[in-house]
């Protein structure tokens, strides 16, 4: 079984490739939930939905999030009632949030509801929220502490990021499903998602690092930084203001002790030697920029081949 850790759009693209790669076997995707929030009385889980819609083949190809061809009559009507339509929820997307909110209110866990949504979309992979507990990313900026989606969507990532905290993380736990997946994995892949606010919360869950260290599987990360820039989102600026090098080496340093291999883009080939020498992490230099389905599957195939060639550090990891 392959276990992928993922945030939103970049993670979902590689997860789709992993699901379709020849010889990959079963796939479990563990998804960040620290971006989740409440809006209009509904529970919104953007990263889970991005992964579900992408694996289900219905994601909006222009944005990477939301549903292809969705309409916005409900949001427009809410705007007519004086509500600020800053977060673009489509009509079909609303159905997901209504169903999830109702099921959570009935007492179902986020894990159960996510499985129901995955089944409804005909997804063969297992999609797991990282936790069933509430965790919320708070972004420290010169304008003050901002809830994640205020920083990300409402204010368009314009503020410098001075720090990031995950509210509730110390009381949260990875689910039993996540722990079992890591324990039974044949390969673990950190998708090219933001290392600070997408993969970061998963690794910050009490017990997650230990579960990874105890996993018998090799662990491989795909760099979300290519040619000094994030492929999507603010990871490059976040790394810079938080004092990390904006390169695959900077990302590898954040993951040091957890990963056995790092996949970096051809544009960053000059960083491979330092990642190997400084951190003892094996590297694969290849094209990592994903467009459509075929490029996702091709990258996933190379990642799997590379990962399976590695001998895990296993219990030597910290
Ligand atoms: N991202 C945006 O930049 N603007 C939006 O209006 C927006 C709406 C939205 C609706 C549903 C959903 O599942 C995701 C949505 N996203 C939007 C993406 C999302 O907020 C971010 O990409 C993630 O939270 C970061 O991984």
Q: What is the mean pLDDT of residues 54-68?
A: 97
For each of the domains in the chain, give its residue range(s) and CATH number, in order of start: 2-133+168-316 (3.40.50.10680), 136-167 (no CATH)
Q: What is the tens place of the pLDDT at every residue in 154-171?
A: 999 999 999 999 999 999
Nearest CA to ligand 1 atom 16: 65
Which ligand 1 atom minimizes the distance to the CA of 50? 13
132, 36 in Cβ contact below 8 A? no
Distance from the CA of 44 to the center of ligand 1, in angstroms? 10
CA 81 to chain centre: 34
What is residue 216's predicted lDDT score, i.e. its pLDDT?
87
User: Model confidence at 314, in pLDDT bands (50, 70, 90)?
Assistant: low
Distance from the CA of 233 to the center of ligand 1, in angstroms? 11
Q: What is the token pair recorded at 177?
A: 């499903």
Distance from the CA of 218 to the center of ligand 1, in angstroms? 31
Which ligand 1 atom minimizes the distance to the CA of 149? 20
Percent of residues, the chain, with pLDDT higher than 90:
95
pTM over 0.75: yes
Residue 313 confidence (pLDDT) above 70: no
Distance from the CA of 311 to the center of ligand 1, in angstroms? 37
Nearest CA to ligand 1 atom 2: 153
What is residue 311's predicted lDDT score, i.e. its pLDDT?
77
- Name residues contacting ligand 1 (CB within 6 A): 7-9, 35, 46-47, 49-50, 65-66, 87-89, 93, 149, 152-153, 198
Average pLDDT, the chain: 96
- Residue 187's SS3 state is strand
Q: What is the tens place of the pLDDT at every residue in 111-127?
A: 999 999 999 999 999 99
CA 266 to chain centre: 23
Residue 318 confidence (pLDDT) above 50: no
Nearest CA to ligand 1 atom 26: 8
Distance from the CA of 65 to the center of ligand 1, in angstroms? 6
What is residue 316's predicted lDDT score, i.e. its pLDDT?
45
Q: How far is Cα 302 from Cα 126, in angstroms, rounded to an integer?
A: 22
Q: What is the tens place of the pLDDT at every residue in 234-290?
A: 999 999 999 999 999 999 999 999 999 999 999 999 999 999 999 999 999 999 999
């Amino acid at each position: 079984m392959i276990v992928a850790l993922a945030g939103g759009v970049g993670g979902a693209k590689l997860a789709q490739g992993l699901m379709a790669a020849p010889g990959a076997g079963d796939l479990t995707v563990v998804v960040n939930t620290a971006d989740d929030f409440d809006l209009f009385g509904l529970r919104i889980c953007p990263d889970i939905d991005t992964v579900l819609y992408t694996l289900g083949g219905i994601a909006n190809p222009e944005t990477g999030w939301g549903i292809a061809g969705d309409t916005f009559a409900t949001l427009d009507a809410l705007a007519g009632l004086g509500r600020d339509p800053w977060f673009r929820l489509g009509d079909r997307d609303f159905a997901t949030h209504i169903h999830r909110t109702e099921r959570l209110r009935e007492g179902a866990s986020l894990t159960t509801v996510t499985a129901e949504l995955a089944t409804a979309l005909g997804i063969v992979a297992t999609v797991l929220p990282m936790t069933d507990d509430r965790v919320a990313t708070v972004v420290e900026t010169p304008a003050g502490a901002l809830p994640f989606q205020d920083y990300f969507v409402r204010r368009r990532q314009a503020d410098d990021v001075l720090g990031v905290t995950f509210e509730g993380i110390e009381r949260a736990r990875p689910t039993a499903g996540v722990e079992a997946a890591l324990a039974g994995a044949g390969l673990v892949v950190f998708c090219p998602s933001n290392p600070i606010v997408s993969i970061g919360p998963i690794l910050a869950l009490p017990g997650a690092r230990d579960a990874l260290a105890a996993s018998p599987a090799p662990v491989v990360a795909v760099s979300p930084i290519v040619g000094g820039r994030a492929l999507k989102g603010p990871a490059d600026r976040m790394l810079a203001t938080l004092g990390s090098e904006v390169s695959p080496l900077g990302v590898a340093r954040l993951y040091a002790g957890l990963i056995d291999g790092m996949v970096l883009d051809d544009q960053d080939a000059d960083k491979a030697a330092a990642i190997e020498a400084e951190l003892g992490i094996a590297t694969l230099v290849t094209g990592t920029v994903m467009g459509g389905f075929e490029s996702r599957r091709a990258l996933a195939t190379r990642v799997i081949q590379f990962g399976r060639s590695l001998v895990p550090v296993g219990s030597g990891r910290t």
